[in-house]
Amino acid sequence: MAFKLTPLPYAEDALVPHVSPETIQLHFGKHHRGYVDKLNETVKGSVDTEKSLEELIHTAGGDRFNFAAQIWNHDFYWASLSPSGGGTPEGEIARALKGAFGSIDAFKRAFGEAAIGQFGSGWAWLVVNQRGTLDVLSTSDADNPIRRGLTPLLTVDVWEHAYYVDYRNERNRYVETCIDHLLNWQHAERRFTEWRDLRAA
């Protein structure tokens, strides 16, 4: 069985004016698709073809880990952005953010600093830890918080290919735009309540 490219959850021009169709065509159509193709080449003929991306993230090393994690991270990134995203979260996620960071603005500052301050390629994450506390962190290259027992709620890709076409070298402007206009709080709320329900079960 081969790994497949998950379709984008919206049209290529859905994030205009914040992310251009050209960026999506490159980022989804070339980079993300490339990771799927490379993982399939790398696992061909081995038992890893039968595993899930999560299993490979937990157990694989080297290229198999890198390609599997990059596929998972990109699936999660597209779901973390929305044409109707940004603004102020509501519901349980808003209460949990205020509990962990003091205020929504303080969360936004912490998340922005993690994303802008990540040296080189990587990802910024909002996660819930095993005790149910929300936290912000960044990871390098393909690394993913689920390897550390954390549950991701949102991510922003800070590899240069995510912003170079639209924002050139201005990662800060790209990150601020994601926070102000694109973060999919409904996705975060769904992930958080799913995590809570699983823990209660």
Binding stretches for Mn ion (CB under 5 A): 157, 159
Nearer to Mn ion, 35 or 111 (CB): 35
Nearer to Mn ion, 32 or 181 (CB): 32
Left, alpha or beta for 168 (phi > 0: left; psi -120 to 50: alpha)?
left
- Smallest separation (angstroms) from Mn ion to the CB of 132: 29
Phi then psi for 2, rounded to 5 degrees? -100, 150
Nearer to Mn ion, 101 or 167 (CB): 167
- Smallest separation (angstroms) from Mn ion to the CB of 23: 10
154 touches 80 (CB < 8 A): yes
- Smallest separation (angstroms) from Mn ion to the CB of 116: 16
- Smallest separation (angstroms) from Mn ion to the CB of 3: 17
Q: What would the two tokens of residue 20 be? A: 């251009």
Nearer to Mn ion, 71 or 136 (CB): 71
Left, alpha or beta for 45 (phi > 0: left; psi -120 to 50: alpha)?
left
Left, alpha or beta for 91 (phi > 0: left; psi -120 to 50: alpha)?
left
